[in-house]
Amino acid sequence: MGLPALEFSDCYVDSPQFRERLKSHELELEKTNKFIKELIKDGKALIQALKNLSTAKRKFAESLNEFKFQCIGDAETDDEICIAKSLQEFAGVLQNLEDERTRMIENANDVLISPLERFRKEQIGAAKEAKKKYDKETEKYCTVLEKHLSLSAKKKEAHLHEADNQVDIVRQHFYEVSLEYVFKVQEVQERKMFEFVEPLLAFLQGLFTYYHHGYELAKDFNHFKTDLTISIQNTRNRFESTRSEVECLMKKMKENPDEHKSISPNTMEGYLFVQEKRSFVSTWVKYYCIYHREPKRMAMMLFDQKSGAKNGDEESFTLKSCTRRKTDSIEKRFCFDIEAVDRPGVITMQALSEEDRRLWMEAMDGREPVLYLRHRKFVSGTPPVGLYRIVGVNSRVQKLLSLAMDPKTCADVELDSTEWEIKTITSAIKHYLRYQPEMCFSFATAYSLASSFSVFLELDNPEARVAEIHSIVHRLPEKNRQMLELLMKHLAKVASHHQQNLMTVANLGVVFGPTLLRPQEETVAAIMDINACLRVCVCRSPASPSPTSPRSPSWPMFSAPSSPQLASSESSPVSPPLRKARALYACKAEHDSELSFIAGTIFENVHPSREPGWLEGTLDGKTGLIPENYVEFV
């Protein structure tokens, strides 16, 4: 039941029922007043919370914007560049969103708080003042009436007539005040329907505007999100393969640490303890020493391994001689003496072990304290491990190698022939890559083309990359190029069965990239440089799929690339069936004729294209090429 209506005629009767109805209106106004006070309080708290949230999100965005990714290696892949700038993209989106939130917060006080406070003070406050006046007039009227009715009828007529007039005036004023109060109470009850609710609607409209801005921002961000999703997927795939390589190197280092010490441009470096006399007391001080063989310069630096702090300046001198200390000549082990050209006296040093002392003495052409010399040869490095572990029949492997290596017969070798089993081919490749001094891209050959590779890595246009890799490959010696062509044909066949053997073009690039472009030394840095190798070895034509996704392979280095735009534009003689298809993987377009999409995307009007291995479909009104093995029909 709603509130009962207050009739103006009841003001003259002023019955108990009228008073009850009036009291119900007064209670409702008091309830509304308390509710609005709490709402204003909660609204201010909400606005403050939004301000705090906005401040925190802006601080978060600033932190994202200030951080810069540093990738391992000299060259960055397109995926790494995309990921590196992702934090700045995130920060830009958050800051843009917070700018809109700030506008909403600034308007919230004007559209919500101020109107509610004004309604409470001007309308409900006026009703309260009217009630005070009404109660006061009620009390005055009742008092005057009671006093008037207590007058004696024996008083003079003039006196009684005057008293009657006075009561009539008070009664009339009471009725006027009652009418005004009833009018005000009902007016406030009606006003609250719009003056109370309208500010809330305006505030919600501001929220909707803010959320709509976020929706539009998300639509604009969708393209970058698609690219970033693909780049993250590609980077994760490369991480798994790179991690296995690094882990393998780590295990080698654990098993044979002395045989896998990294080769430094300096002849020898490491920690040595130097005997020094301080205050007539002999003490041993730990230095980090670097010796250069060519100028015969020794540099010494005080360095605390525990704190990681350098103490003092570096000291250097030119070596004159180095002699091993006999065990019975000093109480310390692993010692040797050196003399300097530009420093007086003999410097006694202690190595970390007998092997360490031997290495230092070999580097400095050290002498033995006895008449004869000991010569021990230190060999570092192990033969590279083969890529495939499938073992073929040795006679068949040797036959394939002899045919492939013979200039007269190498052109006739067909790896696709049923004559050669897969284990024979893989064993031949393993043997060739392990033991041939000159591989497809030997160290000397590859790095003689370093300038071309650096140009290649800077190219963003796929067609330009293909042209550059064509140039590099055809500058190879004929023998290397023929062997590389045989290898590429074999890898193309392996990749064509990637759904069974999981050897996608990307995986083959990860496996063969560091082998074909073998580094000078086996280090983590060389392994991490696999990105550059991948971009060379898995280079593809614009019509070919991305090298980091499970598409069909393309090896453009021995043939001219085709144009997908021309291929897709040629009309088919038979109208193909139109179907829907769902994306199984994410894909980033590398050409205007291709479509970018994420896993789960639904394509319309999907039909075969003139380009082998590709379909043509429509997404968001745009028609383009889709990798055939990326989708399933629905």
What mean pLDDT do residues 75-97 have? 87
- In this prediction, residue 558 has a pLDDT band, given cuts at 50, 70 and 90, of very low
Q: Which positions ≥6 away from 31 have C-beta within 8 Å?
A: none
Higher pLDDT pick, 481 / 29? 29
Q: What is the pLDDT of residues 443-469, one digit of tens each?
A: 545 555 544 555 555 555 666 666 667
What mean pLDDT do residues 587-603 have? 87
β 622-627/614-619 pair status: antiparallel
Tokens read off for 566: 């021309």
Query: If you ran DSSP here, which 8-state letter would residue 286 be given?
Result: E
Higher pLDDT pick, 21 / 576? 21
* CA distance linking residue 224 with residue 87, whole number of Å: 12
- pLDDT at residue 185 greater than cutoff 80: yes
Q: How high is the mean pLDDT of the chain?
A: 78
- pLDDT at residue 548 greater than cutoff 50: no
What mean pLDDT do residues 546-552 have? 40
* CA distance linking residue 616 with residue 570, whole number of Å: 12
Q: Strand, helix or coil at 317?
A: strand
| pLDDT confidence of residue 152 | 83
Q: What are the backbone dihedrals phi and psi of residue 367, each rounded to the nearest 5 degrees, phi first?
A: -110, 155
DSSP string over 455-512: HHHH---HHHHHHHHHHHHTTS-HHHHHHHHHHHHHHHHHHHTHHHH---HHHHHHHH
Any idea which of 223-232, 413-422, 506-515, 568-577 has the lowest mean pLDDT?
Answer: 568-577
* CA distance linking residue 406 with residue 479, whole number of Å: 10
Tokens read off for 102: 């700030």
Question: How far is the first Cα of the chain from the last one, in angstroms, to the nearest whole number?
Answer: 58
| pLDDT confidence of residue 393 | 65
Q: What is the pLDDT of residues 370-392, one digit of tens each?
A: 543 333 332 334 333 333 444 56
Q: With beta carbons less than 8 A apart as the criterion, state whether 609 and 567 touch.
A: yes
Higher pLDDT pick, 471 / 595? 595
Q: What is the pLDDT of residues 597-621, one digit of tens each?
A: 998 899 999 998 877 788 999 999 9
Tokens read off for 579: 């179907």
Entry pTM: 0.50
Higher pLDDT pick, 100 / 402? 100
Any idea which of 33-47, 205-219, 250-264 has the lowest mean pLDDT?
Answer: 250-264
HSE-up (13 A, CA, CB side) for residue 383: 10
Q: What is the pLDDT of residues 112-146, one digit of tens each?
A: 999 999 999 999 999 999 999 999 999 999 999 88
At position 326, the amino acid (one-letter code) is: K
The angle formed by the CA atoms of residues 600, 606 and 612, to the nearest 5 degrees, is 105
CA distances from 34 to 127, 201, 209, 228, 551 (A): 14, 20, 30, 52, 68
* CA distance linking residue 403 with residue 428, whole number of Å: 11
At position 94, the amino acid (one-letter code) is: L
Structural domains of the chain in order of their starting residue, each with its CATH number: 15-211 (1.20.1270.60), 268-363 (2.30.29.30), 437-545 (1.10.555.10), 564-633 (2.30.30.40)
Q: With beta carbons less than 8 A apart as the criterion, state whether 171 and 141 touch.
A: yes
* CA distance linking residue 222 with residue 619, whole number of Å: 14
| pLDDT confidence of residue 93 | 93
| pLDDT confidence of residue 111 | 92
Query: With 0-12 CB in 10 A as exposed, 13-18 as middle and 19+ as buried, what is 265?
Result: exposed
Which among 67, 16, 68, 77 has a CA at the least distance from the CA of 230? 77
What percent of the chain lies above the pLDDT cut of 70?
A: 74
Q: What is the pLDDT of residues 330-350, one digit of tens each?
A: 888 999 999 999 988 899 999
Q: Which positions ≥6 away from 538 have C-beta within 8 Å?
A: 505, 506, 508, 509, 513, 547, 548
What mean pLDDT do residues 530-552 have? 45
Q: With beta carbons less than 8 A apart as the criterion, state whether 527 and 245 touch.
A: yes
| pLDDT confidence of residue 567 | 36
The dihedral sign for the CA sequence 465, 470, 475, 481: positive
* CA distance linking residue 624 with residue 540, whole number of Å: 19
At position 499, the amino acid (one-letter code) is: Q
Q: What is the pLDDT of residues 274-321, one digit of tens each?
A: 998 876 678 889 999 999 988 899 999 998 888 888 887 889 999 999
Q: With beta carbons less than 8 A apart as the criterion, state whether 609 and 571 touch.
A: no
| pLDDT confidence of residue 574 | 46
| pLDDT confidence of residue 512 | 64
* CA distance linking residue 563 with residue 463, whole number of Å: 9
| pLDDT confidence of residue 123 | 92
* CA distance linking residue 400 with residue 394, whole number of Å: 10
Q: Where does 325-457 show beta strands of DSSP type E?
A: 335-340, 346-350
- In this prediction, residue 425 has a pLDDT band, given cuts at 50, 70 and 90, of confident
